[in-house]
Structures are given as C-alpha cells and as structure tokens.
C-alpha cells in the first residue's frame, strides 16, 4: 500500500480534491493508494464528497484529527492551522506505516506518484524532497545555499522520523524561534534536518521560479539547465506556490494554471472553478500590466507540450 498524507481545512477543500483526483487520474493502480487526511475542520458534506470521489477509483481513505491544545502557541498566518499536522505525524499516523508521502493541496500531480520510490535506494534517509529553487531563508537558519527544501512534497521514512524525533524537535524550534520561521513548519523542519535530506529531481516539485531561472539566472545555479527545462516541460508534480500563482485566483499568472482547472473539473467542486472574486485592485493590475501578460504567454509556450497532452 502507498500512503499519502494531506492536511486541509474547509477553505482548501476544493483544492485538496483537485490534488487528490490528479493523483488518482495518473496512477495506473489506484487501488494501491490510501489517502490519510489531516482534518483541520472539514464539513460532513465535504467528507462525503471526498469519500465518494476517492472510492470511485477503488482507492481508500481515512481521516485523522488533532486536539485544539496541540495548536496552542502556533500562529495561524495565511496557511491555516492544518499545516502543523505534519509536526505530529508520529501521533496521527499508524505506527506500522514505514513510509508516507506528504503533499500540499496547492499542487497537481501529472504522473504516477508511486514512481517516486524509484529514487530511494536505502532506508537511511529521513526526508526525500526538492530544494526551494526560488528565494529562501536559508541564511537566517544557518544553512548553506541549496540545503533548504520545499515541503510541498516530502517522502518520509517514518521509522527514521520517529527515531530521530523530527516532529517534536521542529515544533520546539518553531515555538522558541517563530521570528526565524518565515514559512512555519517548513523552516522548522529545515533547521532540524540541517541539510541532511535526500534530494529528488526537481520535476517532483516543479516550481514557478524555474521559468525565471532559465530566462536570466542560470549562471547562479548548481543544477544543469536541462533539469529546469524538464521541470517546465515534463514535471511530475506542479506546485502553485508564490505570489500570483494560485490557479483558483482568476488573475493568476502561473503558466500552468489551466492544468489545475483541468483536474478540478473532475472533482465534485467542478462548477466552482474560478468563481472566486478578485479585488478591483487585482483587476486593474491584471489589465494594465502588459509586460506581465507578455511574460505569462511566453512562459506558457515553454510548456506547450504538457498543455497539449491535457488537450488544453
């Protein structure tokens, strides 16, 4: 069984469903998948919808919860409390589970998710992930450039996680040094791991900064150009992180936002795609920024093969 953990609250339920259906749609053996949902306040209707959707593929699903006391002293910020479920994995995950994939719900998966294990050659790793290829607070955490991973996708060796008490150590650091944790649980986990994590190909967490890197920042990179190009043209997972990137925002400038819409139409929330209202300020910025629109369409062409595969 391949276990996948995603935490979410009611506000992100449609995006959670989109991530899940993209995983199911691209897995040749969905019966081998079991989804564990960290329930940060999902409604009964949402749970019913998720259950029906996942079970229609032959996959299974379960839910896990945390007492409100667990969140004491933690800031909500813009991410919601559900992100902190990961720091309690040793409590909310069955102790018999040895390996689990954690994934954010602002992602879509466009390949067989189970193939990620092909990059694991021994059981000495704790976390396998992809570095944050854009700006990151690695210096303030005392890390070297390239050592800071993005936790939008993490394959976790739960045996090593438990033995090294990773979740509790990260939680302690976060509570003691919130000023150093720009991205709460991500920064805390990076501090605890101190660069000791297994690097996956960046196609497993394709990030929007790859476009800018190819356009003007290749001379600063430690990875070769073809890896960034592959993350744009043939990603395994697309992560809609960063400013103006959320694809459910009508005025998002992410070149691959249509892939999100493609998969969301396969969910019970299909009719609600892009119904979110944009502020007047966003509309003005969108229509007056000709340069940004030009860049958007230029970058979209860089991924035309991927879009064509989805008939977009």
pLDDT at position 288:
59
Sheet with 149-157: list strands edge to edge.
60-64, 33-39, 2-8, 99-103, 149-157, 127-131, 198-199
User: Stretch 232-246: mean pLDDT, rounded?
Assistant: 93
Partnered with residue 130 across adjacent β-strands are: 150
Structure confidence by residue, pLDDT tens digits, 173-194: 999 999 999 899 999 999 999 9
**What is the per-residue pLDDT for 42?**
96
Evaluate if residue 235 carries a pLDDT over 70: yes
Give the model's pLDDT for residue 3: 98
Q: What is the dihedral of CA 173, 175, 177, 183, to 10 degrees?
A: 90
What is the arithmetic mean of pLDDT over 265-290?
A: 67
What's residue 217's pLDDT?
A: 79
Residue-wise pLDDT for 15-26, tens only, equals: 999 999 999 999
Choose between 286 and 208: higher pLDDT. 208
- How many Cα neighbours within 13 Å face the side chain of 124? 3
């Amino acid at each position: 069984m391949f276990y996948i953990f995603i935490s979410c609250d009611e506000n992100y339920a449609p995006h959670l469903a989109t991530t899940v259906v993209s995983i199911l749609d691209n897995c040749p053996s969905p019966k081998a998948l079991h989804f564990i949902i960290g329930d940060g306040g999902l409604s009964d209707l949402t749970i019913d919808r998720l259950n029906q959707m996942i079970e229609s593929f032959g996959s299974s699903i379960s839910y896990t919860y945390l007492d409100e006391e667990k969140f004491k002293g933690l800031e909500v910020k813009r991410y919601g409390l559900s992100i902190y479920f990961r720091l309690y994995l040793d409590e909310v995950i069955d102790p018999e589970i040895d390996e689990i994939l954690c994934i954010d719900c602002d992602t879509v998966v466009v390949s067989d998710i189970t193939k990620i294990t092909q990059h694991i050659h021994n059981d000495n790793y704790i976390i396998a992930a992809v570095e944050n290829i854009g700006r990151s607070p690695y210096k303030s955490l005392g890390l070297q450039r390239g050592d800071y991973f993005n936790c939008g996708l993490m394959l976790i060796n739960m045996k090593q996680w438990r033995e090294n008490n990773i979740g509790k150590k990260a939680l302690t650091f976060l509570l003691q040094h919130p000023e150093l944790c720009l991205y709460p649980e991500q920064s805390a986990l990076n501090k605890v791991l101190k660069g000791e994590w297994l690097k996956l190909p960046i196609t497993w967490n394709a990030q929007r900064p790859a476009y800018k890197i190819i356009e003007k920042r290749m001379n600063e990179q430690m990875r070769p150009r073809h890896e960034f190009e592959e993350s744009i043209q043939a990603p395994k997972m697309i992560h809609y992180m960063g400013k103006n990137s959320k694809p459910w925002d009508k005025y998002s400038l992410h070149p691959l936002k249509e892939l999100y819409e493609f998969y969301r139409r396969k969910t019970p929330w299909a009719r609600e795609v892009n119904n979110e209202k944009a502020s007047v300020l966003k509309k003005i910025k969108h229509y007056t920024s000709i340069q940004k629109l030009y860049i958007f369409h230029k970058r979209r062409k860089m991924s035309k093969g991927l879009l064509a595969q989805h008939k977009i």
